[in-house]
Structure 1
Amino acid sequence: MKIPNIPGFDQNAVEKYLKNTGWLMVARVGSLGIKILVGIALANYLLKTQYGMLSYQTAFASFFIAAAALGLDGFVTRELLRNPENKNKLLGTAFILKIIGGVAILPLVYLAYQILTLLKTPETPFSYLLIVSFTGIMQAFNIIDSYFQSRTQAKHIMKVQIAANLISAGVKILLILLNLSLPWFVCALLFDAVLLALGYLYIYQKNADSIVNWKFDGATARHLLSNSWPLAFSAILVSIYMKIDQLMIDQYLGKSALGIYTTVVQLAESWYFIPIAIVTSIFPAIMNAKRDDPERYLKRTQNLYDLMVWISLSLAIFITFTAPFIYRIAYATTPEYWPGAPVLAIHIWAGIFVFLGTASGQILIAEGHVKLSMTRTIVGAVVNIGLNIFWIPKYGIAGAAAATLVAYFSSTFWILMLPKTRPQGIMMLKSLFLITLVQKIKTR
């Protein structure tokens, strides 16, 4: 397959980088397609109230599950790259720490649930939330993913993810065909995590080593925790940033509105794998230019921002005009979801800032501004929560979509407020307002 030419980048280099990350891209695209189709089938089967209940469990538990991971996955990958001879000690220690983290969040989930019951009588039992929260324990096996990443053997992870998603999709479709009730689908969420854990375990045993050789080491544990806590905190912030609107919709409007909004989020955010795939593929070329040719580095960075805007803007325009048709086709038998169409037409525009934010995040890290990623997330979360407090009661789920749009914009362009990062913000503004596109047209 011929890869389209990207202005400003060497075609042979781009193709090489894309091939190197191809397995990861296949896994993401495959998972995306399966999840969308199953999500639509589930929404049509459960209807908006029960679908909202199911979404609520995931959104609520996500904050605690992010905390249970302790930020270890990414840091362990880096440690394995630096010290591959310490594999068993690093993996064993991280695994035990994540198990402890997964167990520790269970009483916290219960406490948070009890606090929320003081504000509003819950529509779903705590047992549903507890079942989903056990995912925090099962994700301890995700540390195996870190090992294969450090070995650049993404194809093994791809096989597990694709197989797990196919089996998971088959199970959910079977539950629908058997006309089973909501508790079965709640259990299916935990089953997904168990299935993925078993897949990781199998692939590690087959292609690497036995987990019997893993060892826990106190000194290693202290080293991991002392260095990974900022990543853990950042993961929690990202979870709040991405999921808080769903909990606030439930609090203000109830499960039916959340069910509709969940379909919006699913369709709007399904494209977010694109900037990750592009940046992962092209970033090495940008880093090479930064090392060898500063002028070329700036040109490639600007071209990357241009590419992010061109793709996301095209998607936003297309989805805005086709949203009513998408809903009438995807939810032909359940018109109760159709009010989500105009909300999707708002939410989809947040994708422009997600695309730009993904690209600029990597550029800022390359320039040594690592802590800014956390600060950006805090800004986005604060803006999102603040606007949702006022806009959801007044404008409903459309207000939540608008709050997300403003929050993503604020997070992405907050770097304009700092002199050291302002040049990157100005470059993004040039792309956003198509200034560089006009310049390129004039020079041709």
Structure 2
Amino acid sequence: MKLPFLKGFDEEALNKYLKNTGWLMFGKILGLAASLVVTRYLGPELFGDLSFVLALVTITGAVGALGLDTFIIREIINEPNKRDEILGTALWLRLITNSVLIPITIGVYLIFHYFSATPGDNLSLFVVLLSFISVFKSFNVIDAYFQSQVQSKYVVHVQNSCLFITTGLKFAVVLLGLPLIYLVLVLLFDAFILATGLIITYQNKGISIFNWSFNKARGIKLLKQSFPLILSAVMVTVYMKIDVVMLKPIGSVAVGIYGAAANLSEAWFFIPTAIISSVFPAIINARKTDLERYQKRLKNLYDLLVFISLPVAVFISLFANDIIHLIYDKEFEGAGAMLSIHIWSGIFVFLGVASSQYLLAEGYTKISFYRTLTGAIINVLLNLWLIPLYGGVGASIATLVACIISTFYLLLVPKTRQQGIMMLKSLFLVSAFQKIFKR
């Protein structure tokens, strides 16, 4: 029996989705298990230090990808004979940008450290080491190549292999009782072996990275095309990570407790992306042939995402304290209250991911950027107000409010208002109640 929320979607496609995402589910569960073990091992203070550094390098490193992936794929499809030039140009652009970002990231940290209320904890070495992760991520251009050839399975094999290796290393660090620096080195090693694995996989296809070349004209063209996506990527990263950075002046313990709650809350955020990547081609196809069916499928998608996320939010918020005590013990006291608030942001993240695909399909890229920008600004302003008053609880409230406003930003724009209303109806289970009362 198929759930009513799944009506309008091809059953074969859904079965294919379940098979294709099995590896992803397993990988995420394994990664979450390792993260929970590491968090408990480090305790609030050291985990807070690690979370802060990772948030900082993620925010500054958001520029490093240059928003090029979509354009690399498109360029290779349009000009397959220029593959080496396209990949070589994209790689050098990323390597140069990410190399320049290393001293910038260190400088940002030193300024933050100088004005911080907790000057005793010098994390400069961690910042330097983790800044190199973005340099290794430059080789993700190879992933874009395999996507252009519809051969992502090769990248999946590499990612899974790296996951098993680094998870084993994390458990070894915990079992041997090694200091935090070893976990930092494991994270850096993970980025290194992923880049190495991608290069080896590419070489094994009978083509060579050594044939890649840089073309200045193509580089300028790619940067002009991707500039709006660079801004969007930075705003998304600020939106998701700024709370951790802004909590740091209160202390590493506060960051660690909040980070423990946020990691649990965000552990399942990959689910909407996995679902949407499977069903959205059917939605796009309906847009070309039947607009009424297109809208109905969007409504069904929103209903499905609420159907998944709402019960989880209710359950987690009711038992948040018990879950925190079970997983982390008493060291992370206070994380339960944060988790019970933060978990509700998942509903709006789910709807936001789905509606972002709608905006992309309709060509509303500016609206998508303004929506993310609004969420980032709201999050920063609320953090400035609420963190000094309520600490991690304030950061959780700020995240939730920012997610709500960002998701339903569509209500403020006339041409997307109907889509916002559709999401609102899904949120309040209007379709479900209509089906009940029709019986």
What TM-score, normalized to structure 2? 0.96
Q: Distance in 1 between matches of 2:315 and 2:156?
A: 30
Is residue 2:331 matched to residue 1:336? yes
Structure 1 stretch displaced more, 316-325 or 389-398: 316-325
- Asked if 1:388 is matched to 2:383, the reply is yes
Match of 2:431 in 1: 436
Matches within 5 A, 1:33-182: 33-120=29-116, 121=119, 123-182=121-180
Q: Which amino acid aligns with 1:8?
A: K
Q: Alignment length, in residue pairs?
A: 437
1:291-302 matches, cutoff 5 A: 291-302=288-299
Structure 2 distance, partners of 1:215, 1:49, is 46
Distance 1:89 1:399 in 2: 49
Using a 3 Å threshold, how does the CA distance of structure 1 residues 412 and 4 change in structure 2: closer, same or farther?
same
For residue 33 of structure 1, give the secondary structure of its aligned residue in structure 2. helix
Give per-residue Cα distances to partners, 1:18-69, cap 9 Å, x unaligned: 27xx54x244323311221111111111111011111111001111211112
The 8 Å contact of residues 47 and 256 in structure 2, kept in 1 or not, is answered as yes
Taking the aligned partners of 1:183 and 1:3, their CA distance within structure 2 comes to 50
Matched ranges for 1:247-396 at <5 A: 247-251=245-249, 253-332=250-329, 335-396=330-391
Counterparts of 2:85 and 2:4 in 1: how far apart (Å)?
Answer: 45
Checking the alignment, whether the CA contact within 8 Å between 2:348 and 2:403 is kept in structure 1 is yes
Name the CA distance, whole Å, in 1 between partners of 2:153 and 2:3: 24
- Counterpart position of 1:183: 181
Per-residue CA deviations over 1:167-198 (Å, capped at 9, x if unaligned) read 01111111122211111112222111101111
Please tell me the residue identity of whatever aligns with 1:349: W
Q: Give CA deviations for 1:101-157 in whole Å, capped at 9, x if unaligned.
A: 111102211221232133112612312101000112111111111011111112111
1:31 is aligned to: 27
* Residues 1:18 and 2:17 are matched in the alignment: yes
* Distance in 2 of aligned mates of 1:57 and 1:65: 12
1:217 is aligned to 215
Find the aligned partners of 2:16 and 2:407 in 1 and give their Cα distance: 26
Contact in 2 for aligned 1:30/1:162 (Cα 8 Å): no
Change (3 A) 1:310 1:208: farther
Normalising by structure 1, we get a TM-score of 0.95
CA distance in structure 2 between the aligned counterparts of 1:230 and 1:325, rounded to whole angstroms: 44
User: Please, which moves more after superposition, 185-194 or 6-15?
Assistant: 6-15
- Per the alignment, do residues 16 and 328 of structure 1 end up closer, same or farther by CA in structure 2, a change over 3 Å counting? closer
The amino acid that maps onto 1:357 is: G
Amino acid paired to 2:246: M
Q: Secondary structure at the match of 2:237?
A: helix
Q: CA RMSD in A?
A: 1.7
Percent same amino acid among aligned pairs?
41
Distance in structure 1 (CA, Å) of the matches to 2:157 and 2:393: 39
Q: 1:152 to 1:292 in 2, by over 3 A?
A: same
Distance 1:160 1:124 in 2: 35
The 8 Å contact of residues 110 and 124 in structure 2, kept in 1 or not, is answered as: no
One-letter code of the match for 1:118?
Y
Report what 2:232 is aligned to: 234
Q: Distance in 2 between matches of 1:126 and 1:147?
A: 35
Q: Secondary structure at the match of 2:365?
A: coil
